[in-house]
Amino acid sequence: MSQNTHSQQRRRRNRRGMTLIEIMVVITILGLIAAAVGVAVIPQLEAARRDRASLDIKSIQGALKLYYTKKGKYPDTSSGLNALVETQSLEQMPKDPWNNDYVYLNEGGKPVIISYGADGTAGGEGNDADISSADGASAKNK
């Protein structure tokens, strides 16, 4: 083989791979794309959690109506949602999308189901806002 053929083969070998700088540029671009997608997706995830909590509350309200049909009354606050599980109106104790228990209150009137939102405590704004059946399962609870 001639020297010209060897130099052509060497050039081809050098062209096959990517340099470290090229790899770093590609990784940086992928990181920027991932960050942009994350900024767009995270608010949607929180909105989906709030929507799920509202749907869960409506489902619990349905189980409460079934309990009322069987027993002629709603469970009191001390019995809470456990009474729904015991009468098989619910299969299991539900958790809100933030893995907290739903709060059940019944003080002689219409029962209220509450999720305290992302922070798990009463009150709050934004993602920490309470979701209550008293507010149509979509607004803040005081």
- What is each CA distance from 56 to 19, 24, 90, in whole angstroms? 53, 46, 11
* pLDDT at residue 109, as a whole number: 76
Q: Is residue 125 part of a domain?
A: yes
Beta-carbon contacts of residue 134 (< 8 Å; ≥ 6 apart):
110, 112, 114, 141
118 Cβ contact list (under 8 Å, min separation 6): 46, 49, 98, 124, 127, 128
- 118 within domain boundaries: yes
The two structure tokens encoding residue 32: 């920027």
Q: By residue range, what is the domain housing residue 102? A: 43-134
Q: How many structural domains are present in the chain?
A: 1
Given this model, what pLDDT does residue 41 score? 85
| Count of helix runs (H) and strand runs (E) in the chain | 3, 3
Is there a domain that residue 14 lies in? no
Provide the β-strand partners of residue 101.
95
Q: pTM of whole model > 0.85? A: no
CATH code for the domain in which residue 100 is found:
3.30.700.10
What was the pLDDT predicted at 142? 36
Backbone angles phi, psi at 138, to 5 degrees: -145, -15
Assess if residue 117 is contained within a domain: yes
Q: Establish if 16 belongs to a structural domain.
A: no
From first to last of its 142 residues, the chain has per-residue pLDDT tens of 556 666 666 666 556 667 889 899 999 999 999 998 888 888 888 899 999 999 999 999 999 999 999 999 999 998 889 999 998 888 898 899 999 999 999 977 789 999 999 999 998 898 899 999 988 654 443 3
Question: Chain centroid to CA 9: how far?
Answer: 56
